């Protein structure tokens, strides 16, 4: 994949002792928020990697001199590709774990230590915004619920917030897990990896994080509920159909959901 402008590399694995952690922040036209997000992340991880996804608003200039690794896509490739670029760089540099967070301030970096505390070589740690469901706009909440149902079915594992991008991955996971449709749409990768990781024997654990919406955003979300949910549901439906409807996955996920007692939005 062609990339341009691989910037200064700061931080090395193990700098803070214990397992080494790199933060990967995909950024597409986030000049308004990126410097603050980076500033709040830097001290909590061994290295911060910003992937500028072909921004035209000077996003990259805002992090120059802050001591982060920067990678720039020559053109916009979508969130999924941006994550893959950053995670690959972290893995090649020898980091144990990658924490992914958005550049728009929706994921409070102060929660990184809690997420990392739950990290394990065979586990994906998912930030879960269910405790603050009310903060999520209704249309987005409905799209998330639909995605949770289908993705948990295909994974055979109940997940209460499959659409949160605030996560910790073992750095080598993306090399071990086969993703077929990840490039179809920017946001599909984060759904597909949950399904394929569970099928490959990984587990998923949830850590509560706050849901921040209007208060921090300086621009509207790029997420298009209809288009992006349709792309995700299409990817999941294809898998479920080709796996003979995978009834055992549906049963297992729903049994876990009942046991956990999903808090519902009134």
Ligand X SMILES: Nc1nc2c(ncn2[C@@H]2O[C@H](COP(=O)(O)OP(=O)(O)O)[C@@H](O)[C@H]2O)c(=O)[nH]1
Binding site for Mg ion (CB under 5 A): 102, 104, 106
- For 178, residues 6+ apart whose C-beta sits below 8 A from its C-beta are 196, 200
- Within 209-248, the residues that bind ligand X by CB under 6 A are 221-223
Strands 21-27 and 47-52 turn out to be parallel
| Part of the chain binding ligand X (CB under 6 A), chosen from 3-11, 16-24, 96-104, 255-263 | 96-104
Specify the residue, 99 or 240, whose C-beta has the smaller distance to ligand X: 99
3-state secondary structure 72-135: EECCCCCHHHHHHHHHHHHHHCCCCEEEECCCCCCCCHHHHHHHHHCCCCCEEEEEECHHHHHH
In the complex, what is the shortest distance from the CB of residue 251 to ligand X, in angstroms, rounded to a whole number? 30
Minimum distance of ligand X from residue 245's CB (angstroms): 29
What lies within 8 Å, CB to CB, of 149 at 6+ separation is none
CA dihedral 205, 160, 257, 137 (to 10 degrees): 170
Q: Based on the shown chain and the rule CB under 6 A, indicate whether residue 15 belongs to the binding site for ligand X.
A: no
Binding region for ligand X (CB under 6 A) out of 90-98, 102-110, 124-132, 246-254: 102-110
**Residue of 68, 103, 188, 198 that binds ligand X (CB under 6 A):** 103
Q: Does 53 bind ligand X (CB under 6 A)?
A: yes
76, 114, 254, 256: residue in contact with ligand X (rule CB under 6 A): 76
Which residue, 53 or 196, is less far from ligand X as judged by CB?
53
Q: Are 157 and 256 in contact (CB under 8 A)?
A: yes
Task: Tell me if 96 contacts ligand X by CB under 6 A.
Answer: no
d(CA 262, CA 88): 34
Q: Which residues bind ligand X (CB under 6 A)?
A: 26-28, 30, 53, 76, 78-79, 82, 102-104, 106, 186, 221-223
């Amino acid at each position: 994949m062609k990339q341009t402008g691989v910037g200064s590399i700061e931080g090395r694995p193990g700098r803070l002792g214990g397992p080494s952690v790199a933060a990967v922040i995909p950024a597409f036209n986030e000049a308004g928020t990126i410097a603050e997000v980076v500033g709040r992340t830097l001290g909590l991880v061994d290295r911060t990697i910003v992937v500028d996804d072909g921004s035209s608003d000077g996003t990259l200039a805002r992090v120059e001199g802050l001591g982060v690794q920067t990678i720039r896509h020559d053109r916009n490739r979508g969130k999924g590709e941006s994550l893959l670029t950053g995670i690959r760089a972290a893995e090649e540099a020898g980091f144990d774990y990658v924490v992914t967070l958005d550049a728009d301030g929706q994921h409070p970096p102060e929660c990184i230590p809690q997420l990392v505390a739950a990290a394990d070589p065979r586990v994906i740690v998912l930030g879960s915004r269910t405790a603050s469901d009310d903060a999520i706009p209704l249309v987005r909440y409905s799209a998330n619920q639909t995605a949770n149902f289908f993705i948990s079915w295909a994974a055979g594992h109940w997940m209460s917030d499959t659409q949160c991008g605030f996560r910790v991955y073992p750095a080598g996971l993306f090399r071990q897990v086969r993703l077929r449709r990840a490039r179809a749409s920017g946001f599909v990768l984060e759904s597909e990896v949950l399904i394929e990781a569970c099928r490959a024997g990984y587990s998923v654990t949830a850590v509560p994080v706050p849901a921040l919406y209007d208060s921090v955003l300086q621009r509207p979300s790029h997420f298009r509920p209809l288009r992006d949910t349709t792309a995700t549901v299409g990817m999941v439906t294809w898998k479920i159909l080709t796996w003979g409807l995978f009834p055992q996955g549906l049963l297992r996920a729903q049994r876990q959901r009942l046991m956990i007692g999903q808090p519902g939005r009134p």
